[in-house]
Amino acid sequence: MLKNGVFITFEGPDGAGKTTVLGEIVKRLEEKGVSVVATREPGGIRIAEKIRNVILDNEHQEMDSRTEALLYAAARRQHLAEKVLPALQEGKIVLCDRFVDSSLAYQGMGRGLGMDEVMSINAFAIDGTMPDLTIYFDITPEEGLQRIGKNEAREQNRLDNESMRFHKNVYEGYQKLLKQYPKRIISVDATKPLLEVTENVWKIISAQLNQE
Ligand SMILES: Nc1ncnc2c1ncn2[C@@H]1O[C@H](COP(=O)(O)OP(=O)(O)OP(=O)(O)O)[C@@H](O)[C@H]1O
Ligand SMILES: Cc1cn([C@H]2C[C@H](O)[C@@H](COP(=O)(O)O)O2)c(=O)[nH]c1=O
């Protein structure tokens, strides 16, 4: 695929601050007149939002881990084809809240399916598209989940409600990914105050955009 845009993903445990900071970065980019598309996984478009509801529904306790992994990959494919790839072809900056690294960490490590196995089903979905840059929001699962718990407006979904063991395995998965992709994934300390985290992310993204 020919692309002129820049694909940037935000990753990390639940409650790390990704969505909040992404919103702040979008505002700053738009103020500078940069054409930006902000989106999320699973979701971002009609079909993928429907798949999201199926995956995260607390009533779907019987969902098999492989089914879960396949649903995330299916939502990813549709979102890429319908929204991300067209935006990149138009030369836009795409900021995406989660992408394939989430599947590697959550389904690969969290569910114990294996990161290589989960990558292999995702290879079909992403067909070679990987982010140009990934910002990893580093926070322990304990602290991230505590933040979510404090936010009364935020409903706890099926994944949030998983065991602490699951969330610790997810965290370990991200640590492996940081070692595996040291150039693509840059870690920020997500435990700092919001303004400081935003500033750090802004510096990393500005540097990336200046070198493109
Ligand atoms: N740096 C910060 N310090 C303290 N609280 C924060 C910080 N960043 C975000 N928060 C708060 O933590 C909660 C979770 O933030 P947010 O929804 O942005 O996280 P997230 O990484 O997108 O989570 P999830 O992946 O579960 O959707 C929100 O209530 C938000 O206001
Ligand atoms: C893309 C993706 C996501 N997940 C998990 C991570 C979160 O617990 C939820 C999504 O909720 P958020 O509030 O939008 O962060 O889904 C996953 O397990 N695998 C994935 O590929």
Boundaries of every domain in the chain: 6-211
CA distance 168 to 110: 8
CB-based contact 107:177 (threshold 8 Å):
no
Spacing, Cα 58 to ligand 2 middle (Å): 14
Q: Is the CA virtual torsion 107, 109, 111, 113 positive or negative? A: positive
Q: Was 18 annotated as part of a binding site?
A: yes
CA distance 164 to 145: 9
CA distance 141 to 170: 9
Q: How confident is the model at residue 134 (pLDDT cuts 50, 70, 90)?
A: very high
CA distance 170 to 12: 9
Ligand with smallest separation from the Cα of 42:
2
CA distance 181 to 130: 11
Is residue 11 lining ligand 1, measured as CB closer than 6 Å? no
Q: Was 12 annotated as part of a binding site?
A: yes
Q: Which homologous superfamily does the CATH classification assign to the domain defined by 6-211?
A: P-loop containing nucleotide triphosphate hydrolases (3.40.50.300)
Dump pLDDT digits (tens) for 80-120.
Answer: 999 999 999 999 999 999 999 999 999 999 999 999 999 99
**pLDDT > 70? residue 3:** no
Please report the atom of ligand 1 found closest to the CA of residue 137: 21
Chain mean pLDDT for the chain:
96
Residue nearest to atom 30 of ligand 1 (CA): 17
Please report the atom of ligand 1 found closest to the CA of residue 98: 25
Residue nearest to atom 12 of ligand 1 (CA): 147
Please report the atom of ligand 2 found closest to the CA of residue 73: 21
Q: Was 179 annotated as part of a binding site?
A: no
User: DSSP class of residue 181?
Assistant: -
Q: Was 19 annotated as part of a binding site?
A: yes
Q: How confident is the model at residue 153 (pLDDT cuts 50, 70, 90)?
A: confident
**For residue 56, what are the contacts with CB-CB under 8 A and spacing of at least 6?**
42, 157, 158, 159
Q: What is the pLDDT of residue 143?
A: 97
pTM value is 0.98
State yes or no: cis peptide before 86, omega within 30 of 0. no
CA distance 129 to 149: 34
- Does the structure's ipTM exceed the value 0.95? yes
CB-based contact 38:22 (threshold 8 Å):
yes
Phi/psi of residue 195, each to 5°?
A: -65, -40
Kindly tell me the number of DSSP H helices and DSSP E strands found in the chain.
9, 5
Q: What is the pLDDT of residue 92?
A: 97
Strand spans (E) along 76-142: 93-97, 133-138
Residue nearest to atom 25 of ligand 1 (CA): 14
